[in-house]
C-alpha cells in the first residue's frame, strides 16, 4: 500500500510540474504578400498579438483593424497604402501599432488660398482612431488627405515621428480625446497642421511636445480646447518645446482656456498668435504662456527680457526668451530609422495555457496524499 501511494505521489508531483511549467502561446509574424496577398486579409486571419509585416509595394485598399496587433511596413518611403475612400486605415480597437508606411487618401488635393474649413474634404481621412486607447502611430508619411490622423474619442495614444504634409488638416483631436502624446512629428505645408477641436466635448490633458510645425496656413488651432470650468478642472493641454515657424498663423485660439504654452520657438510667423477668425485678435481665450521661470522665444520680441511679451490684454508671456531654445534636429522624423525586420519584432509575453485554480488543485492533492502516507506510517508504529 505504501509503495502504491508513493507512486501516486510521484505521478502527481510530475503532473504538477508539467502544469506549472508555462506553455507558451507565441504571437506569429505574418508577412504580406507572402502569407496573404492583401493587408486586410492578413488582419482578418491574424489572432490577438500577431505582428503583420508588409513588404515594399503599393497596396490599394482600405483597412479596418479591430484586434490587438502590430502593422509594420518594410520601409516608409516604399511601402504605401492608398485608397480613394475614407478612412484609409480605421482603427477600432486598442493597443495597435502602425509604423513605417506612406498613407494617402489619393483623390484629395490640398486646396490653395485662404484657410477655410470645408465639410467635403473632412471625411477623407488617412488614419482614424475611433474610441481607441494605447495605440502607437509612429514613423509614417501621411499626405494628400483631408485629415492625416483623426483622434475621435481616443485616449492615451502616442503619435511620434510622423511626417505629415500636404493635407487639409494634419492631426485632429475631437470628441473628448485626451491624455494623448503627440511628439517629434514634422507637420509642414498643411492648411492647418494640428487642431484640438472640442466643441461639444472636452479636449484636455494632451501633451504636444517637440514637433516641427512650419509653412502651414495655421500651425496649431485650439477651438474649445479644455472645458469652461477651468481652473477647477485643472487638466490643461501642454504645448511645449515645439518649433513653430513661418506659418501664416503660429497658434490660432478660440474659446480655449487654461492651456500651458511655453518653451516653444515662434519664428517668422506672419501672426504669432491669433483668433480662429481671419482678422480678430484673441478675444475669448485665456492661457498660460510661461512656467514661472521661462516662457517662449518670439522672433518679433523687441524687449530686453524684463518686459512681458503682450499678446493681448488677457494673454501675455511674462518670461519671454532672448534667444531660441535648443530643439535638437535629430528629434525630427527624417533622422529616425525604419522599423525592424520580421525576425527582430518582439512577440507578446508568453501566457499560461492552464488556469491557476487547476494548478492549485494538483498541489492540494499532493498534500492530501502525503498526509495519508504519514497516517499509515504512524498506524504501523
Of the candidates 125, 142, 110, the one whose C-alpha atom is nearest the C-alpha of residue 216 is: 110
Of the candidates 27, 25, 155, the one whose C-alpha atom is nearest the C-alpha of residue 94 is: 155
Domain extent at residue 271 = 203-320
Burial of 125 (0-12, 13-18, 19+ CB in 10 A): buried
Altogether, the residues listed in the chain come to a count of: 381
Alpha-carbon Rg for the chain, nearest whole angstrom, is 28
At residue 195, the pLDDT reads: 93
At residue 224, the pLDDT reads: 78
Q: 368 in helix, strand or coil?
A: helix
Asked, for residue 294, whether it belongs to a domain, the answer is yes
| 187 conformational bin, left if phi > 0, alpha if psi -120 to 50, beta if neither | beta
Of the candidates 31, 82, 36, 37, the one whose C-alpha atom is nearest the C-alpha of residue 61 is: 82
C-beta atoms surrounding 223 within 10 Å: 19
Asked, for residue 208, whether it belongs to a domain, the answer is yes
Asked, for residue 279, whether it belongs to a domain, the answer is yes
C-beta atoms surrounding 338 within 10 Å: 16
Report the alpha-carbon angle 95-97-99, nearest 5. 170
Phi, psi (degrees; rounded to nearest 5) at 369: -65, -40
Asked, for residue 235, whether it belongs to a domain, the answer is yes
Asked, for residue 232, whether it belongs to a domain, the answer is yes
At residue 280, the pLDDT reads: 46
At residue 303, the pLDDT reads: 86
Q: How many domains, in total, are found in the chain?
A: 1
Per the omega criterion (within 30 degrees of 0), is the bond before 178 cis?
Answer: no
At residue 339, the pLDDT reads: 54
- The dihedral over CA atoms of 182, 149, 219, 76, expressed in degrees to the nearest 10, equals 80
Is the distance from CB of 367 to CB of 16 less than 8 angstroms?
Answer: no
Q: 290 in helix, strand or coil?
A: coil
| 182 conformational bin, left if phi > 0, alpha if psi -120 to 50, beta if neither | beta
C-beta atoms surrounding 350 within 10 Å: 12
Q: 149 in helix, strand or coil?
A: strand
C-alpha dist (Å) from residue 112 to 212, 227, 258, 275, 278: 22, 33, 33, 21, 16
Question: What does DSSP say about strands 136-138 and 63-65: parallel, antiparallel, or unpaired?
Answer: unpaired
At residue 75, the pLDDT reads: 93
Q: 112 in helix, strand or coil?
A: coil
How far apart CA 180 and CA 171 sit, in angstroms, is 12
Asked, for residue 340, whether it belongs to a domain, the answer is no
- Beta-bridged to residue 150, according to DSSP, are 128, 172
Is the distance from CB of 65 to CB of 92 less than 8 angstroms?
Answer: yes
C-alpha dist (Å) from residue 274 to 278, 282, 320: 8, 5, 18
At residue 50, the pLDDT reads: 94
Asked, for residue 348, whether it belongs to a domain, the answer is no
**pLDDT tens, position by position, for the chain (381 residues)?**
545 545 444 444 444 444 444 443 567 899 999 999 999 999 999 999 999 999 999 999 999 999 999 999 999 999 999 998 889 999 999 999 999 999 998 655 655 555 454 545 455 899 999 999 999 999 999 998 889 999 999 999 999 999 999 998 999 999 889 999 999 999 999 999 999 987 777 888 999 999 999 999 999 998 877 755 555 556 789 999 999 999 999 999 888 888 999 999 999 999 999 875 444 444 567 899 999 999 999 999 998 878 999 998 888 999 999 999 988 766 666 655 555 555 455 443 333 334 444 555 666 676 776 777 666 666 655
**Which strand (E) or helix (H) includes residue 80?**
strand 79-83
At residue 351, the pLDDT reads: 33
Asked, for residue 277, whether it belongs to a domain, the answer is yes
Amino acid at each position: 500500500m505504501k509503495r502504491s501511494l508513493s507512486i501516486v505521489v510521484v505521478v502527481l508531483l510530475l503532473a504538477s510540474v508539467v502544469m506549472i511549467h508555462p506553455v507558451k502561446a507565441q504571437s506569429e509574424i505574418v508577412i504580406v504578400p507572402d502569407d496573404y496577398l492583401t493587408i486586410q486579409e492578413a488582419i482578418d486571419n491574424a489572432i490577438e498579438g500577431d505582428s503583420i509585416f508588409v513588404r515594399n509595394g503599393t497596396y490599394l485598399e482600405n483597412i479596418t483593424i479591430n484586434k490587438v496587433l502590430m502593422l509594420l511596413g518594410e520601409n516608409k518611403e516604399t511601402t504605401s497604402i492608398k485608397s480613394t475612400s475614407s478612412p484609409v486605415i480605421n482603427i477600432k480597437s486598442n493597443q495597435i501599432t502602425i509604423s513605417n508606411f506612406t498613407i494617402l487618401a489619393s483623390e484629395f488635393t490640398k486646396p490653395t488660398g485662404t484657410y477655410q474649413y470645408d465639410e467635403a474634404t473632412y471625411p477623407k481621412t488617412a488614419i482614424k482612431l475611433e474610441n481607441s486607447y494605447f495605440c502607437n502611430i509612429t514613423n509614417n508619411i501621411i499626405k494628400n488627405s483631408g485629415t492625416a490622423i483623426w483622434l475621435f474619442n481616443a485616449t492615451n495614444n502616442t503619435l511620434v515621428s510622423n511626417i505629415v504634409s500636404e493635407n487639409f488638416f494634419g492631426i485632429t483631436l475631437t470628441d473628448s480625446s485626451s491624455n494623448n502624446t503627440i511628439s517629434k512629428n514634422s507637420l509642414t505645408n498643411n492648411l492647418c497642421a494640428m487642431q484640438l477641436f472640442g466643441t461639444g466635448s472636452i479636449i484636455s490633458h494632451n501633451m504636444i511636445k517637440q514637433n516641427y510645425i512650419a509653412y502651414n496656413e495655421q500651425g496649431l488651432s485650439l477651438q474649445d480646447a479644455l472645458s469652461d470650468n477651468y481652473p477647477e478642472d485643472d487638466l490643461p493641454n501642454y504645448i511645449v518645446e515645439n518649433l513653430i515657424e513661418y506659418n501664416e498663423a503660429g497658434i490660432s485660439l478660440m474659446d480655449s482656456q487654461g492651456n500651458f504654452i511655453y518653451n516653444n520657438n515662434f519664428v517668422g510667423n506672419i501672426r504669432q498668435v491669433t483668433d480662429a477668425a481671419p482678422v480678430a485678435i484673441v478675444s475669448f481665450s485665456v492661457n498660460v504662456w510661461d512656467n514661472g521661470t521661462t516662457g517662449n522665444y518670439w522672433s518679433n520680441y523687441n524687449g530686453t527680457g524684463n518686459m512681458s511679451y503682450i499678446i493681448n490684454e488677457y494673454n501675455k508671456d511674462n518670461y519671454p526668451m532672448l534667444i531660441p531654445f535648443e530643439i535638437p534636429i535629430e528629434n525630427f522624423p527624417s533622422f529616425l530609422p525604419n522599423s525592424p525586420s520580421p525576425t527582430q519584432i518582439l512577440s507578446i509575453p508568453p501566457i499560461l495555457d492552464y488556469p491557476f485554480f487547476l494548478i492549485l488543485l494538483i498541489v492540494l492533492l499532493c498534500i492530501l496524499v502525503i498526509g495519508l502516507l504519514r497516517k499509515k506510517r504512524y498506524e504501523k508504529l
